Amino acid sequence: MKDTAVLLIDCPDRKGLVARVSGLLYEHGANILHADQHQDHELGKFFMRVEWALHENGHEDRAASGTAFDLVKFSKAFTPIAKELEMHWQIGVMNLPSRIALFCSQYLHCMADLLHRWQSRELSCDIRVIVSNHREVEKLAAYYGVPFEHVAVSPATRAEAEQRQLKILERYGVELVVLARYMQILSPEFVAHYPSAIINVHHSFLPAFIGARPYHAAHARGVKLIGATSHYVTEVLDDGPIIEQDVARISHRDQVEDLVAQGRDLERLVLSRAVKWHLDRRILCYGNKTVVFD
């Protein structure tokens, strides 16, 4: 885990924004490691991501490093500037891993991929719990030493099941929910508890072929490309801000099972990328779109 802090900003575009932000960071002794910005000229919006070292030479011990960046002092100084410039802003500390929950149903390929990446430290996070409406994932959870919670869901018990799930998430202090092929529709009430903090993978190149059987629909339509999409969940099914997409070329020779097999590889990739970018604090949502910083 990196000993850095990240500042994410979105605000109305105007001259001098980069200078104001970087200048204040410099005044407070920041060693800026990465900076990226984007302008949406049509909407007149400005977006920025800045990452800087919290301690000299990467040491967390003040005696060893000599100086530590004072986040509280900087935040107090930045608040009036942000208000003046109508900024929405957030600061994240990269060596404090996000607490996440993984949801799945019967398909385990995305779940297994995320757990492997987490164990190999490709994903810097704290996986607190795995939740499923089936028990197929229980052995996998035990193998990786992650607590497992089984919550059965039926049309008649959906509201009750979601309340149980929310209590589980609260108990584990979860900040991010990842739907690793969780084949249930979340209610608007559930989604409202985690705005821009539920990531889903949909087995289609959205907005084409929404719903439960997109590979069958793609095969029936005779498409030459199939895809997968990772997006934030909103109250509208499969319509949240898109984070990542990828595609694979197919032909008339491919049957539905071939599309499913190729699609699973795409699903693993786009979901893991989306989760990593969220954990790295590289994503800003605006409207129904995202900015994903390099």
The string of pLDDT tens digits covering residues 246-294 is 998 887 887 878 777 888 999 999 999 999 999 999 999 998 999 999 9
Asked whether residue 118 falls in the same domain as residue 52, the answer is no
Domain CATH for 155: 3.40.50.170
Q: How many domains would you assign to the chain? A: 2
Domain CATH for 29: 3.30.70.260
Cβ-Cβ contacts under 8 Å for 128 (sequence gap 6 or more): 99, 100, 101, 146, 147, 172, 173, 174
* One-letter-per-residue 3-state SS of 54-95: CEHHHCCCHHHHCCECCHHHHHHHHHHHHHHCCCEEEEEECC
Residues involved in catalysis: 238
Each residue's pLDDT tens digit, 179-205: 999 999 999 999 999 999 999 998 776
Other Cβ atoms closer than 10 A to 111: 26
Asked whether residue 28 falls in the same domain as residue 122, the answer is no
Give the CA angle between residues 203, 162, 90 to the nearest 5°: 75
State pTM to two decimals: 0.90
Residue that terminates a domain, selected from 60, 93, 126: 93
End-to-end CA distance of the chain: 18
Name the least confident of 33-37, 54-58, 104-108, 278-282.
54-58
Cβ-Cβ contacts under 8 Å for 83 (sequence gap 6 or more): none
| Alpha helices (runs of H) in 145-246, residue ranges in sequence order | 158-171, 188-192, 214-221
Question: Residue 227's domain spans which residues?
Answer: 98-292
- Host H or E run for residue 259: helix 256-279
Residue that terminates a domain, selected from 93, 126, 150: 93
Asked whether residue 73 falls in the same domain as residue 214, the answer is no
What is the predicted pLDDT for the residue at 217?
Answer: 75
Residue that terminates a domain, selected from 46, 66, 93: 93
